[in-house]
Amino acid sequence: MSGRLATIDPAEIEKFKQRFAAGRAKQIEDANTEATRLQAAAVLLQEQVTALEKTATIARKNWKDKEGLRLRKAKPGNPSDPELLLKTQSETADSKLATAREALAQAETDRDKALKLADKLPREAYTEKFKALNARLKDTGVEMATLDATAVAEIKGMLDLRNYDGVDARLLAIENKVLDTVAGRDLPIKHAALTARMATLGTQTVKDPQAIRGLNTTLEGIDPEAPTGTNLGRLEREIEPAVAALEQRIQVVLDLIQPLDGAIKVLERSGTDAAPHRVELGKCVNIAKLKPEDARIRLVDLTKAVKQTQQDRTDQAAAELTYPGELAALEQRIADFPDLSPSHKSRGGALVNKTKGPLKNAKEAAAERNFVAACNLIGVADDEIDTLDEAADAQEEQKALALSAQQALLAKQLKDAAAKKAKDAKDKAEKDAADLALAQLNTAKAALTLASLDLIGKDSDFETWMDKVRALRTASMLTVATAGGAYWLNGRTTVEIEVDVTGVTDTSFKDYFVVHYHPTAVYDQIGSQVHSKPYTGNMTTPKDRRMNNTGHWLFGTVPTLKNIDDHPP
């Protein structure tokens, strides 16, 4: 398992796997249910077809019995004419039969599709298994079909019947024969490889001696000189997965130890007290030599604890950066205390000095809390601090009131002048910015880019928009084409054609407009026989009437004005 996954809770990974397994199982179940439903529908329809065929046969026979009918015939063409009646019945029956046959064909197609899907998923899985088994037989001169032709044939039949338990049983039988066939070649290799892996596990700093002993004993119990399918099966089905699981368990712990060691070293170099972490890591390493799983649980907790220390260290560094500013603010606050009592005044200096320590060592920049703590240290109660602060504020207020009226007036004049200057500067800046924005907008509009088209209000400045469409089209940056239909609008005085505008390289760029023809209209101040509009709209919607001129560029795409003139009365 990679290092990235090592820190993820195995329970979460298992939950993820189970969700996929559940989803797949439900998909197969749904496909089977659908196939069953469609199968039943097809049977029902088949019964209907049979019944209708019978009805049709009888109706046809009756109709053909013209001799008997002629005797009972009333006036020719009369709806009650028995011959006509039977002919109609016969045709109705034939028609119903045809409809039912169509429905049956559709139901059968749907059923086949559903069955195909229901079979597809397990078949994919079994195909993979088959491929793997075939690959193992490579270079042995033996093929699956010859190895167990009966089982292979049975598997095919069972897949058709969706008897997956049967398929599994036969696959196991075939796999056993494959193992028998390749045991001579694969068993010594596999045995040696597993022995080597076990040896590596024995040298790791993290190990599970009990598990290693057990696996080694099992492995030694298989004689590499006795290459039987059974032995190879045990190696592959029993021992190899157990070795892999053990490797994984050990790797998870190793992946936790290494980064922790690095992180603790960084803390130690920075002067942070990381001794408890170092001790805990040492304990974990010791435990990991015997019980990796126990070590893993403690290492996960240690990882969290080290991360917390790293965070605390970062917070402390930030507090140290803000410390001088906070200390200055604190000194100023004490200096602002009014001279209410000699004892308070005399304690002011001591207050500052005693506050420095708690403030500097704070984990967080919480000056107020530290200030109160420092005051308490020198015997100033919380409510006394409030009294001193309030007195300081009152003193400031009195100072402000003591300003002369002249000073106040001067201050106001200065303030007004400064405000006017600021307003003028702001107005100028805003005007300059507006001019610049307008110039940029005009430049952007003028640019031959698809974006420049969007900058022009299609609905408000339609003629300019159309000119831009033409320019972009001439530059081969967009195409203009009828969307495919022309329709009379309500009232039947207007024929509308929708025209699509599409980017050439950027085909996601799309817009449209419409061309309207009014065959009975005349060209005057407001009317015209042909014009383009941003959308269907109504009489007040902006329009580009320049299409009234022969030779307008749009007539390469839509019918010409000449044709419009040629309209019928």
Partner 1 sequence: MPINDAQKDYMQRVFGMGTPTDTPSGTAPANPAFVKAWREAVASWRDASDVVDGQITALQSVLKGSGDSELEDIAEFGLNAVTGGFKVPLMAILQELNPSAPEPRMLGRAKSIVAGFRGHLNTDERVLGCDENPFGVTMSVRATLGAALGSLDAAIQLAAG
Please identify which residue in 76, 79, 485, 551 interacts with partner 1, judged by CB under 8 A: 485
Using CB under 8 A as the binding rule, whether residue 19 contacts partner 1 is answered as: yes
Q: How far is the CB of 568 from partner 1 (least distance, A)?
A: 4
- Segment contacting partner 1 by CB under 8 A, of 13-21, 310-318, 433-441, 469-477: 13-21
Contact criterion met (CB below 8 Å) for 378 and 350: yes
DSSP string, 49-103: HHHHHHHHHHHHHHHH-HHHHHHH--STT-TT-HHHHHHHHHHHHHHHHHHHHHH
Task: Please state the closest distance from residue 255 (CB atom) to partner 1, in A.
Answer: 11
Q: How many residues bind partner 1 (CB under 8 A)?
A: 43
> The tokens 């698809």 sit on which residue?
450
Closest distance of CB 566 from partner 1, Å:
7
Could you say whether residue 24 binds partner 1 (CB under 8 A)? yes
Cβ density class 380-396: b for 16+ within 10 Å, e for less: beeeebeebeebbeeee
| Phi, psi angles (nearest 5°) of residue 531 | -160, 165
Residue 498 is a binding residue for partner 1 (CB under 8 A): yes
Nearer to partner 1, 120 or 283 (CB): 120
**Which two structure tokens, joined as six digits, stand for 494?**
């207007």
Q: Which of 448, 462, 452 is nearest to 546 (CA)?
A: 462
Residue 512, exposed/middle/buried by CB under 10 A (0-12, 13-18, 19+)?
middle
Q: Which of 346, 361, 536, 549 binds partner 1 (CB under 8 A)?
A: 536
Which of these segments, 278-286, 363-371, 479-487, 543-551, binds partner 1 (CB under 8 A)?
479-487
Is 508 a binder of partner 1 (CB under 8 A)? yes
| Segment near partner 1 (CB under 8 A); pick from 10-18, 89-97, 365-373, 389-397 | 10-18
- Of 413, 510, 523, 550, which one interacts with partner 1 (CB under 8 A)? 510
Please name every residue paired with 480 in a beta bridge, in sequence order, or none if there are none: 501
- Which helix (H) or strand (E) is 303 found in, with range? helix 292-335
* Binds partner 1 (CB under 8 A): choice among 41, 58, 377, 486: 486
> Counting contacts by CB under 8 A, is residue 15 touching partner 1?
yes
The answer to whether 535 contacts partner 1 (rule: CB under 8 A) is: yes
Considering the complex, what minimum distance in angstroms separates the CB of residue 8 from partner 1? 5
Burial 152-162 (b: 16+ CB within 10 A, else e): bebbeebbeeb
In 3D space, the residue among 329, 393, 399 whose CA is nearest the CA of residue 359 turns out to be 329
In the complex, minimum distance from the CB of residue 252 to partner 1, in angstroms, rounded to a whole number = 11
End-to-end CA distance of the chain: 84
Q: How far is the CB of 517 from partner 1 (least distance, A)?
A: 8
Nearer to partner 1, 380 or 497 (CB): 497
For partner 1, give the closer residue by CB, 20 or 79: 20
273-281, 358-366, 423-431, 561-569 -> range binding partner 1 (CB under 8 A): 561-569
Q: What does the per-residue mask of binding to partner 1 show for 244-263, with x meaning CB under 8 A? A: ----x---------------
Determine the Cα–Cα distance for residues 162 and 445; give it in Å rounded to an integer: 66
Joined tokens for residue 335: 């200096």
DSSP string, 441-498: HHHHHHSSSHHHHHHS-TTTSHHHHHHHHHHHHHTTSEEEEEEEEEEEPTTSS-EEEE
Query: Alpha-carbon distance 559 to 497, whole Å?
Result: 10
Report d(CA 74, CA 86) in Å as an integer: 13
Chain Cα centroid distance, residue 411? 61
Q: What would you report as the CA-atom Rg of the chain, rounded to the nearest whole angstrom?
A: 46
Q: Smallest distance, Å, CB 567 to partner 1?
A: 6
Which of 27/549 has CB closer to partner 1? 27
Binding mask 115-154 for partner 1 (x = CB under 8 A): --x------x------------------------------
Chain residues 423-462 in contact with partner 1, contact rule CB under 8 A:
none
- In angstroms, the Cα distances linking 86 to 53, 59, 80 are 16, 7, 10
- Examine residue 16 and tell whether it contacts partner 1 (CB under 8 A): yes
Tell me the window of 264-272, 305-313, 390-398, 491-499 that interacts with partner 1 (CB under 8 A).
491-499
Residues 502, 478: contact at Cβ < 8 Å?
Answer: yes
The least distance separating partner 1 from the CB of residue 481, rounded to whole angstroms, comes to 12
Single-letter residue type at 411: A
In angstroms, give the least distance from the CB of 487 to partner 1. Answer: 5
Task: Give the range of 21-29, 155-163, 222-230, 546-554 binding partner 1 by CB under 8 A.
Answer: 21-29
Stretch that binds partner 1, among 87-95, 294-302, 347-355, 490-498 (CB under 8 A): 490-498
- Residue 559: CB partners within 8 Å, gap ≥ 6? 517
- In the bound state with partner 1, the residue whose beta carbon lies nearer, of 319 and 564, is 564
Decide: is 2 part of the binding site for partner 1 (CB under 8 A): yes
Residues found near partner 1 in the complex (CB under 8 A)? 1-2, 4-5, 8-9, 12-13, 15-17, 19-20, 22-24, 26-27, 117, 124, 248, 483-488, 492, 495, 497-498, 508, 510, 519, 535-536, 559, 563-564, 566-569
